[in-house]
Amino acid sequence: MKLLLMLVLLGSAAWAQDYDDYDTNNTATVDARGHRPLTRGRELYLSSRYNPPPISSGVTGPQQQEKVEQPESGGCTHAMDEMGVLCPNGCELKTMLQKQERSVRISLNSLRPQVEELSRESNQVFNYVKSMSTNLRERQRVINNNNDVVGQYTDRVEEQHAYIKETVDTHLPSTIRVLQGVLDKVRLKIQKLEKAIQTQTQSCQEPCKTKCPVPVVSGKECEDIFRRGGLESQMYLVRPDPSSAPYRVYCDQQTQNGGWLVIQNRLDGSVDFGRRWDDYRKGFGNIALDVGKGHCQTPGEYWLGNDRISQISKMGPTTLLVEMEDWSGTKVQPKLKPNSILTQLKLNSDSTNYVLAVDVYSGTAGNCLLEGSTELIGINRTMTIHNGMMFSTYDRDNDNWNPGDPSKQCSREDGGGWWYNRCHSANPNGRYYMGGAYTKLMAKHGTDDGMVWMNWKGSWYSLKAISMKIRPFFQS
């Protein structure tokens, strides 16, 4: 628009220059109105511009007037019919252009904020589109990465599926067949055990009776029986006190020249040694068994009884022999071996709770009864010495571990009756564990409650067999 105005102004100036030259050369007086007609009625300007009605009115505008012919009376006709005839000097044209410039400038000024707002909105749209493009590229990258991960996991799943299928198709059936064979064997063993239990139940409906004959030879103890001709190791009747009734014992007539009376025997865990005071006082278990030879030559698991042990030990100086066997097969032979204990024994009566007294030790397995655990030092060792201790069971606490406190009883935690201190280095009457080694998790109270002899195998090894035997002491 400005360019158009400048062109028009330049043209008008050139035309005005020509007019001035013409006016200089002409010396005649010129009328101020120029070549315009003198009739004033012709000076009126009738506008034929059509003004449309408002958009919402719907009313049609007036009919366009016919074009009025302008006489050729000087000047020139404007390009737009509405502007009429131009004067030679172009003043009206300038005025009209200036009026139009002001209206146009006002319109431009009113449009400028809208244009700026449109520019800002365009920039915002551009930035938004740019960010959307960036996010789209990022999401596309993430999708590609996810597709890669999914592909990797799909490959792994396919490999696992192939492995599982191969295992199910090949290895599993063979494993099932092996397990089925094991199950069949277990079922047969269960059937045999059920049959044995049924037979045993029927046998126990009547009082148990000794089915093997007792030898005629008897005596005060096993050494006396040996001197009287009882040279076979089997069950005999002994009578230490003529005023008391005889009772059955097992005599070992081969070990160390014979004459040994078995007071305790553990070999298979068939008898529970977690007993009350009265059981340990009177004795319990199976003295001997008949294995089909007509007499009881196989010792069983039993405790002779504290009253009987005390009675025999009071007859004179008494020797105690302890024989042990581990789960690798190391065991006592007829001669004294490193895992045997030979010492003197004396046991007091019930009135003193059967206080233990031992002396004159011989052997290399460690005298736990007299010295305690040699792997400990100081008070930790002395509190494991059994010599001089009273006998304790879970219902009669006579140990040195907080006497009178029912929550601290060695017998209750260590599984059997014994001459506990605080608590033991030897525990022959403890719980029977198959295989030897055991752990705190296997123990009922988390203590070393197995058949322990610490100076030989340590606290967490339970022996396969242990036997305690006594006979009169010989000075030789």
Q: Note whether residue 97 is domain-resident.
A: no
Average pLDDT over residues 266-293: 91
Q: Note whether residue 375 is domain-resident.
A: yes
Report the pLDDT value the prediction gives residue 210, as an integer from 0 to 100: 52
pLDDT-derived band at 56 (thresholds 50, 70, 90) equals very low
Give burial (CB, 10 Å; 0-12/13-18/19+) of 234: buried
Q: How far apart are CA 405 and CA 397, in angstroms?
A: 9
Mean pLDDT, the chain, whole residue set: 80
Q: Note whether residue 405 is domain-resident.
A: yes
Q: Note whether residue 189 is domain-resident.
A: no
Which tokens hold the place of 85? 């005839």
Q: Note whether residue 412 is domain-resident.
A: yes
**Residue scoring higher pLDDT (26 or 113):** 113
- Number of independent structural domains in the chain: 1
Average pLDDT over residues 40-56: 48
User: Packing angle between helix 2-25 and helix 91-166, nearest 10 degrees?
Assistant: 160
Please give the DSSP secondary-structure letter assigned to residue 271: S
Q: Note whether residue 71 is domain-resident.
A: no
Report the pLDDT value the prediction gives residue 200, as an integer from 0 to 100: 78
Report the pLDDT value the prediction gives residue 367, as an integer from 0 to 100: 84
Q: Which range is most confident: 43-52, 204-213, 249-258?
A: 249-258
Give burial (CB, 10 Å; 0-12/13-18/19+) of 14: exposed
**Residue scoring higher pLDDT (170 or 67):** 170
CATH number at residue 381: 3.90.215.10
Average pLDDT over residues 128-141: 90
Q: Note whether residue 64 is domain-resident.
A: no
- The parent domain of residue 437 ranges over 218-472
Q: Note whether residue 431 is domain-resident.
A: yes
Answer whether residue 416 shows pLDDT above 70. yes
Q: How far apart are CA 25 and CA 18, in angstroms?
A: 11
